[in-house]
Chains A and B, each alone.
Chain A
Amino acid sequence: MFRLTIVAFHGEPKTKIASHTHENPIRIVLPLVILSVLSVWFFYSPNPIDASIGWFHHRVVQPESAVPAAYQWDFLLQDHHGAATVEHTAHQEGHHYLNVLQEETHHFHYMAMFLSLLIAGSGIALAFAIYQYKLISADALEKRFKKLHTFSYNKWYFDELYHATIIAFMLAVSKAMAWFDNYVVDGIVNLSAQFTRFAGYVTGIFDNVVVDGAVNLTASVTGYFGAGLRKMQTGRIQTYLVFALIGLLLIFYFFI
């Protein structure tokens, strides 16, 4: 944050566009002012290290504990003597703790506050040292910790990681499924159609060769006999008389 502040607002304008900048119109300044006021402590409480005297503290309903019920193990809910519900009044400041949990959490409050202030302060100091007073060269630092710098510059490669894992995986799955749908599921459908067509083809051949063959066979057999017998139809009375005589002789031979 302070690198941003120093680079952007302190020192001389670095580019031509920057030297032409001017104060923003009211429609931008007003929301910014309101948001700034809302972010400063005295808006909520006159005392920066004790919120309990401010109006905000009284207006909001506080939860019983910031620790979820699942993590409030039994041993934490006892006081130092092991009694479950006795009010602990060891502290003379007027604080009352129902159990170890509340007491221990409270002890960490100040430590957490000072620690975060310390870390923030050193960060600010470092920003001033590097960018405002140029005590340390940013370029030299960059060269020294080249790998760390690239890593940080690329936002820990988070986007790339995400692309290579989740997105690539999803796309691969979708590609595979679309392929599966096109070739396997629809393939089965088309295969069943092919099968039906093949069955139809076989039935067609059977119908053409066997069933219709039998019909045609009957016809050709009939025709064959017809062609053979036709030769007997000579039209001459003498031939018919001979046939009649042979027939008569055969009847005599078989039946008499």
Chain B
Amino acid sequence: MNFPILTWITFLPLLGMLIVLLVPSGKDEKGKELSKTIIRWVALATTFMQLVLALIIFFSYNKGLTGVNNLQSFQFVEKLSWINAQLPGIGNIKIEYFLGIDGLSVPMVLLTAIISFLAVFPSFGINKAVKGYFAMYLLLDLGMMGVFTALDFFLFYIFWELMLLPMYFLIGIWGGPRKEYAAIKFFIYTLVGSVFMLLVMIGLYHSTGTFNIIEMMNQGNFAANSIFGGTGTTLRYVAFMGLFIGFAIKVPVFPFHTWLPDAHVEAPTPISVILAGVLLKMGAYGMLRIAFPIFPDAFAYFQTLIAWIGMISIVYGAFCALGQHKVGKRDFKKLITYSSVSHMGLVILGLASMRPEGVTGAIFQMFNHGIITAMLFMIVGVIYDRAHTRGLDDFGGLAKKMPIYTGIMAVAFFAAIGLPGMSGFISEVLVFLGAFKTYPVLTIVSGLSIILGAAYMLWALQKIFFGQLPEKWQGPWDPTGKLYKTDDVNTREIIALVPLGILVIFLGVYPSPVLDLMTGSVTQFIELMKPFIQ
């Protein structure tokens, strides 16, 4: 295929951003409103086209090709020389514009396109500095898509950092009461991880003479006396840990997760959706694409530690989510945030198992968690928009007032618990199947945390929907009748939520469309790692 589809899917948001910035603001009240509407629809159209491109990729993707460490079997590859400088004394610095996807990245590209498109709908509710918001939103979209398509480490790093900037402003300007604190915490915490990554990247460049991720996976490309040469050296272990921590902050896993509750609680709804839906996956994807295959010997050395970190995240996140019912202000968003820590721990456990079922389950869990948590955050957004509070104790008996909303929420909640018939169940089972063979005890302990998951989720469901409707919510949400015509969810919210609900149930019953994308690549990945694992 000659059409550079990956460039298009990655840089389409930039085009949209330029159009958004060129829309005139309008002079009078009416003109301003028109300008806002145009900007919103431009963003929607841009992300929609991106989704169409992602679907084209999905349907034309050849499942027989494996990728991972084999350049020939990557698909939609684009490779151009970008920075090629002859420096006296140092040599030739060669950085390529190198894009390509395989089974590890296709599900993520698809997820990014779906979430970016659907999160535009709740973004319609943003009324403050609309032009700036959507410009930042589209830039964020560009960064995320770039991370999942880049195969040059330097390019990957640029996209990784590029995504930080819009996120900082999106939380810092459009966020809640403690937005400045949350924004700077998110930025600095992620930057700490990025700095580790940058240092390791420079070391890798000096060892292999390339920024090409695929060539770095070939241990033969490491010069014998370079800093990362050989196998099982202390320096390689340190470098692996540097990369691992850099990615772990993003996942996030215990104990690097505390930026997440703050960022989520303060971020506006659509940004929480993106944060949980896509950004967290970048960490796990980084491990899968960079940290593990480049340092397989170090992975083998730390494998048990990583499995422990996964298990601790699962149990710890679940307990903290449950604890939200008893400590301080019981915030709905915080509850879901900690459930995210728990569910992303499953991804780490699945990766640590280094078995086909476990790794497949981990990637599928990344996809499912993206869909389910995006749904959950949109659901929180629905009542927060109306009631301006997220306190679990402030609600009750909403089922009578909002029956459609309750139905959608029940689907999302049961999916989050991992009920059979929902997509989350398939990935959880695959992870546990794989992990049980490598780490039976850790898996049993992690499996027990499902009970905690059911406890905190059902508890929240009861608190919000059953029992007595509080006095203050008895009347309509908006007495003027301008914002909300009915008590239930409006059409815009249904359009955003229902496709996600359908995906959750469809993939729960028939997961093959997504699983088939990755099986070949996962097998290849395991083959690459196997010689290093005892």
Contacts and interface: CB of A to CB of B under 8 A. Distances in A.
Contact of A181 (B188, B320, B325): B320
Interface magnitude class on chain A = 10 to 19
A178 B258 contact: no
Given A170-B322, A173-B319, A177-B320, A182 B327 contact: yes
Interface in B316-332: 316, 319-328
B319 A185 contact: no
A194 B188 CA distance: 13
Nearest to A186: B258
Contacts of B188: 193
Contacts of A188: 255
Interface string B168-203: 000000000000000001001100000000000000
B255 to A, nearest CB: 5
Given A170-B452, A177-B316, A185 B255 contact: yes
Contacts of B325: 171, 174
A178 B319 contact: yes
Interface of B is mostly: helix
B189 A177 contact: no
Interface in B119-135: none
Nearest to B322: A174
Interface string B240-265: 00000000000000110111000000
Contacts of A209: none
Interface string B325-359: 11110000000000000000000000000000000
A171 B320 contact: no
Contact of B323 (A177, A185, A186, A189): A177
A175 interface: yes
Interface residues of B, number: 21
A191 to B, nearest CB: 12
Contacts of A175: 323, 326-327
A179 interface: yes
Given A179-B327, A182-B327, A174 B258 contact: no
Nearest to A172: B326
A181 B328 CA distance: 13
A176 B321 CA distance: 12
Contacts of A173: 319
Interface string A189-222: 1000100000000000000000000000000000
Interface string A138-175: 00000000000000000000000000000000110111
Contacts, number: 50
Contacts of A179: 323, 327
A124 B409 CA distance: 49
A232 to B, nearest CB: 55
A178 B320 contact: yes
A69 to B, nearest CB: 23
Contacts of A182: 327-328
A188 B324 CA distance: 20
A181 B258 contact: yes
Contacts of B327: 175, 178-179, 182
Contact of A171 (B257, B259, B316, B326): B326
**Most chain B beta-carbon contacts within 10 A, residue among A170, A181, A188:** A181
Contacts of A181: 258, 316, 320, 323
Given A182-B327, A189-B189, A174 B319 contact: yes
A176 B316 CA distance: 11
A124 to B, nearest CB: 40
**Most chain A beta-carbon contacts within 10 A, residue among B185, B188, B319, B455:** B319
A175 B323 CA distance: 5
Contacts of A178: 319-320, 322-324, 326-327
Given A175-B327, A179-B327, A185 B258 contact: yes
A21 to B, nearest CB: 31
A189 B326 contact: no
Given A171-B326, A174-B326, A182-B327, A189 B258 contact: yes
Contacts of A170: 322, 452, 455
Nearest to B259: A189
A221 to B, nearest CB: 41
Contacts of B326: 171, 174-175, 178
Given A185-B258, A186-B258, A174 B320 contact: yes
A178 B323 CA distance: 5
Interface string A104-120: 00000000000000000
Nearest to A184: B255
Given A182-B327, A189-B189, A177 B255 contact: no
A177 B323 CA distance: 7
A189 B320 CA distance: 17
Contact of B319 (A177, A186, A189): A177
Contact of A174 (B185, B255, B257, B323): B323
A186 B254 CA distance: 11
**Most chain B beta-carbon contacts within 10 A, residue among A174, A175, A193:** A174
Contacts of B452: 170, 174
Contacts of B189: 189
24 contacts: A170-B452, A171-B326, A174-B319, A174-B320, A174-B321, A174-B325, A174-B326, A174-B452, A177-B319, A178-B319, A178-B320, A178-B323, A178-B324, A178-B326, A178-B327, A179-B323, A179-B327, A181-B258, A181-B320, A182-B327, A185-B258, A189-B259, A193-B185, A193-B188
Given A178-B327, A189-B258, 13 more contacts: A174-B452, A175-B326, A175-B327, A177-B316, A177-B319, A178-B319, A178-B322, A179-B327, A181-B258, A182-B327, A186-B258, A189-B185, A193-B188
Interface of B: 185, 188-189, 254-255, 257-259, 316, 319-328, 452, 455
* 8 pairs of A and B residues whose beta carbons are closest in the complex: A178-B323, A174-B322, A174-B323, A186-B258, A177-B319, A174-B319, A178-B327, A175-B326
